[in-house]
């Protein structure tokens, strides 16, 4: 008989406790992932129900989940650069790139919906619009494309959403963190010309500045993939609704096309012309 009088009847001693396998009985697949809540989050607005509305809701909810993950990774990459953990920052940005490619590929799934099928429920969406995605704006702000006017243009923000975006406007961006990396390697970064010259130095002396150049390339890849998503998105919108205005009141594809020239890191692109 055990001499441990603190043990409760029916409970295994600590050394025999099973935390893996069904014997543990602590979590199930469904409870860990909160599947009842997750799978109950798709509520159709159309009546009678339009077949493709479930697809439309699911795709956009998945986008928001990926946006949440991207914010998580970009935040950690920024902090790693500031802390001098450049290998970790590069690893995290590589993950960002993979997720961004998934975002582009998901448009293919959405395009299995025909314009006619979309029109069956599109009117029920107004005034909701992808323009209102706060997490997407957070990503843009964190990447370096801060736009304070967004808070004035969109008045449907909750107090929490406004606070989140204002925080992103105030905090350092990935670009700020990269400038800190340059300075930590004694590469001048006080103005644009110095930054371009410093990146050129890193490009031409990769034996000494391998980590710096790798980060510059990782940021440029992030910029390029974001541009790829915007380009893929606008073509999909034009395929679905042509030149119609957006459900949120924007000019639709005209607004999206106006954002195609956006670059997070124009100086990194400029370096290409000076190598």
Q: What is the mean pLDDT of the chain?
A: 88
Residue 229: what pLDDT? 94
pTM of the model: 0.87
Total domain count, the chain: 1
Structural domain of 248: 49-122+130-272
- Any domain includes 265: yes
Residue 275: what pLDDT? 86
Tell me how far apart the alpha carbons of residues 97 and 95 are, in angstroms, rounded to a whole number.
5
Going 141 to 145 to 149 to 155, the CA torsion angle's sign is negative
Q: Is the pLDDT of residue 19 over 90?
A: no
Residue 23: what pLDDT? 61
**Cβ pair 263, 218 in contact under 8 A:** no
- Any domain includes 43: no
Nearest by Cα to 220 from 156, 168, 143, 164: 143
- Any domain includes 36: no
Percentage of the chain exceeding pLDDT 70: 85
DSSP for 168-221? HHHS--HHHHHHHHHHHTT---SSHHHHHHHHHHHHH-TTTSHHHHHHHHHHHH
Residue whose entry in the numeric block shows the structure tokens 């429920």: 121
Q: What is the CATH number of the domain that holds 151?
A: 1.20.58.480
Q: Is the pLDDT of residue 251 over 70?
A: no
Residue 1: pLDDT band with limits 50, 70, 90? very low
What's the mean pLDDT in 21-28?
Answer: 68
- Any domain includes 1: no
- Any domain includes 199: yes
- Any domain includes 2: no
What's the DSSP call for residue 34?
Answer: T
Residue 81: pLDDT band with limits 50, 70, 90? very high
Residue 124: what pLDDT? 80
List, in order, residues 6 or more apart from 75 with CB less than 8 Å away.
Answer: 142
What's the mean pLDDT in 141-167?
Answer: 90
- Any domain includes 6: no
Q: What is the pLDDT of residues 42-58, one digit of tens each?
A: 999 999 999 999 999 99
The answer to which of 169-173, 200-204, 246-250, 265-269 has the lowest mean pLDDT is 246-250
**Cβ pair 130, 60 in contact under 8 A:** yes
**Cβ pair 174, 219 in contact under 8 A:** yes
């Amino acid at each position: 008989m055990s001499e441990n009088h603190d043990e409760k009847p029916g409970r295994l001693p600590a050394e025999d406790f099973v935390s893996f396998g069904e014997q543990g009985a602590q979590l199930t697949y469904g409870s860990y992932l909160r599947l009842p809540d997750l799978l109950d989050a798709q509520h159709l607005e159309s009546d009678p129900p339009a077949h493709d509305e479930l697809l439309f809701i699911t795709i956009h909810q998945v986008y928001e989940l990926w946006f949440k993950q991207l914010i998580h990774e970009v935040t950690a990459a920024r902090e790693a650069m500031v802390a001098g953990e450049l290998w970790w920052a590069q690893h995290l940005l590589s993950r960002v790139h993979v997720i961004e490619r998934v975002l582009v590929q998901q448009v293919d799934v959405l395009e299995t919906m025909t314009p006619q099928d979309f029109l069956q429920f599109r009117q029920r969406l107004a005034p909701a619009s992808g323009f209102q995605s706060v997490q997407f704006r957070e990503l843009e702000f964190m990447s370096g494309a801060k736009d304070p006017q967004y808070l004035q243009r969109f008045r449907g923000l909750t107090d929490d959403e406004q606070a989140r975006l204002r925080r992103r406007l105030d905090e350092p961006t990935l670009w700020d963190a990269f400038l800190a990396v340059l300075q930590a390697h004694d590469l001048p970064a006080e103005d644009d010309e110095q930054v371009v010259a410093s990146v050129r130095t890193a490009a031409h002396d990769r034996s000494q500045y391998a980590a710096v150049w790798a980060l510059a390339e990782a940021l440029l890849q992030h910029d390029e993939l974001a541009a790829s998503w915007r380009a893929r998105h606008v073509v999909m919108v034009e395929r679905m609704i042509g030149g119609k205005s957006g459900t949120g009141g924007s000019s639709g594809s005209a607004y999206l096309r106006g954002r195609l020239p956006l670059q997070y890191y124009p100086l990194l692109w400029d370096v290409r012309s000076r190598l």
